[in-house]
Chain A
Amino acid sequence: MAVPPSITSIGYLTRIGVGEQAAIGTPILTTQVLPSVSESLNDVYAEIPDESLQGSPIVDTPEQGNFSATGDMLVPMRYLNEFVLLKHFFGQFATGRYDLLPSIQGKALTVSIDKQVQGVWDYTDTKATQIVWTSNADGVNLQTSMIPGALTLNSTLNTHAHLVGLLQDAKRVLHHHLRLLVGTQDHALTHPADDLCLSELTLTLSRPMAIDYTNCAQTPMEPIENAFLSFRLAMTFPRFRTEEEQIITWRKNYTRLQASLVYTHPVTGDTKTIIIPNLVFVTATAPTAGPGPRVLTTEAAISQGKDVTTSAQIAITATGNALAITGGTFPFVAAGAQVTISGAATPANNGTFTAAAWTPLTLTLATPPALTDEAAGASITVSVSNPPIYMLET
């Protein structure tokens, strides 16, 4: 009997491709290759022991039970546009903007890993349940926690040759490319007034999901969100200086803040920008840990910022599709936020709109729909619902 050539699975030679499925249950040709630092998808089959007719201290061979394959993938971030992992987790992507949907029901990834032994492994119906964006001297990495729905060995859809053809490159996102802006919600963030220097950040976005099975099905049903989405931003500042003392006051007063994490490649000019319209510091500590300078460690909770303003001094202008307020200010509004107007004398000016731009005195809305000129006088209520987080890229 001929001995087949031996193949050893080598990490160096591993290729990982990802693609967005059009539908649950339908694997897809992957479209993007991911340089991976590690992956730990672990396929497990539960055991169904026969406990009813044993009559013996030794069990019979259990039946093979439910399949599950949770695990993480650690990927160095690159200035790659339409980053598939992020598109899937956020749920919505259009013209360089990733928006967070409350649910990603009906959306899934095919993750193909060329492990060499048993060829390419296709994890289909894969959902991302958490992403952790870390930025420090080692670089910027994205760790994604995944729940695959099924596994196919020796995929005939995503082959080694296909993954080789996906080879693509883009420069790495590195920590020194970052400009961090943090400030109160009474002004638009500007450089350098709102700059902070930090040595490390960890942005954790969690989308908890339940894994359920139906009778007689070995693979799980599509995991669905089963708890609040939660978002945290941990930041370590290299020094506890007077420049950072404001953070202590913000934490003490539970001040609502906004933040922008802007990564710009110094040579190519590519950008990745994470916008956090509403966050509060929940911890800020600077313990003495040695004779040298203290380090400030903080954690901020990210949530959805909602505000309401009612005023009879709001004028609406069709030119620029904007509202202007006197004798007060509009609450902070991030671009893309949902704005609901009520109480306007002109019925067409009432309704739900999308914010395009904001200053404390002017609120510009996206068109359509178009606003109609209306002088101040009516008691107008402007309700704002900011997204908790979104991401831009150029």
Chain B
Amino acid sequence: MPLSDILTALLTPLQAISDIGHVYPYDRIALDPTALNGTVGPLSTLRFWCLSRAATQEVWRGNASVERLHRLRLRGYLALDDPQASERMYQDLLDEVLTTLSDVITVPGSAEYLTAPLLERQEARMLAETVPVHFSETFVVASEYLSVTPVDVPGGTIEDYRDLADWLTAQLLTIPAIGTVHPYERLTVEPDLAPAVFGNPQAIRAWTLTRESVQNDRNPGLEHRGQERLVLRGYLSVDDSQASELVMQDLLEQIAALLRPSHTVGTFDRVGPLQIEQVAHSMVGQTHLCHVAQCALPVEAWALALSA
């Protein structure tokens, strides 16, 4: 898959940097830093990096091609040890990291080009409110260019938002192991999430769909244009030992690929492409640590206004 190939093309030279520590192709997440103790190194000498996809913008570039702009994020962690001038050590490592990332310009077959790295943040922070670390976030954008042939979409009776949400739900449910898909936002104030909503509280895997905004425009003379913003949110229980973030990222890739060719659906002239706006983690219901993803699906339709 191009995204994983791009990540590998960045990981391999990063891992070759001497003294860089561990470099992982996904975010390592734990509520308790002791869970990371030993996994990513003793807490007192933590030194690890996590590369993952933070977002993907998708743009139709032609009648049969899309460009996917993956915003890739490298997070770095180094145990803070001021007497040993750990900040200087960290800055030296960052120099090496930035140089290494700069050297990757293309990934043949997967990424047309990568932008130069952008170090957006370098600071000292408490990891999980317990372990002081130097922390940084560096971003690169990788462009993936795909040929796409729009496909015929059966079901010309899809005429309103409810129809479209039901159609999208049915499409998503064709993805193996996607979990539960709800055609509407599920809201609960119960601390223990209802299994019927999100599934087993220890293994949440659910998606909800909602419409966040609608903008209607009138063109001069009868034509009416509607633009809707649909939002798909995904929740997946964090299981760091099983690299659960990779599962979430893979599901997102499958969803984007599934919806991409379905450009006209029923009376909706343009559906998509899917924008993966955020891949992160959060405490769902303040009790369950989950990977969360937010995707936007722009929808556009034109019709003749019927006013007299």
> Interface on A for B, CB 8 Å cutoff?
11-16, 33-38, 76, 135, 137, 139, 164, 167-169, 171-172, 174-180, 192, 195, 197-199, 237-239, 265-269, 291-293
Contacts and interface: CB of A to CB of B under 8 A. Distances in A.
7 contacts: A13-B307, A14-B222, A35-B223, A76-B223, A167-B306, A178-B63, A198-B63
A317 B20 CA distance: 80
B263 A172 contact: no
A35 B304 contact: yes
Contacts of B64: 176, 179, 195, 197
B221 A34 contact: yes
Given A12-B220, A76-B223, A293-B112, A198 B265 contact: no
DSSP majority for the A interface? loop
B308 interface: yes
B48 interface: no
B133 to A, nearest CB: 34
Contacts of B113: 291-293
B223 A237 contact: no
Interface string B262-276: 011110011000000
Contact of B61 (A14, A199, A269): A199
Interface string B292-308: 00000000001111111
- Counting chain B CB atoms within 10 Å of each CB, the highest count among A180, A192, A238 belongs to A238
Contacts of A291: 113
A14 B222 CA distance: 7
Contacts, number: 108
Contacts of B62: 197-199, 237-238
Nearest to A293: B112
A179 B149 CA distance: 9
Given A172-B269, A197-B62, A11 B220 contact: yes
A177 B221 contact: no
Contacts of A176: 60, 63-64, 150, 263-264, 270
B264 A238 contact: no
Interface of B: 60-65, 67, 112-113, 143, 145, 147, 149-153, 156, 218-223, 263-266, 269-270, 302-308
B175 to A, nearest CB: 22
A67 B213 CA distance: 49
B220 A239 contact: no
B1 to A, nearest CB: 21
B270 to A, nearest CB: 7
A15 B222 contact: yes
Contacts of A237: 62
B119 to A, nearest CB: 19
Contacts of A293: 112-113, 143, 145
Contacts of B149: 192
Given A76-B302, A195-B64, A266-B150, A174 B269 contact: yes
4 A-B pairs with the lowest CB-CB distances in the bound complex, closest first: A11-B220, A238-B61, A36-B221, A35-B223
A180 B153 CA distance: 20
Contact of A239 (B61, B219, B264): B61
Given A197-B65, A267-B266, A292-B143, A169 B220 contact: no
A168 B303 CA distance: 10
B63 A35 contact: no
A254 B143 CA distance: 34
Given A172-B269, A267-B264, 15 more contacts: A16-B221, A35-B304, A76-B223, A169-B303, A174-B264, A176-B64, A176-B150, A239-B145, A265-B264, A266-B151, A266-B153, A267-B153, A267-B265, A268-B156, A292-B143
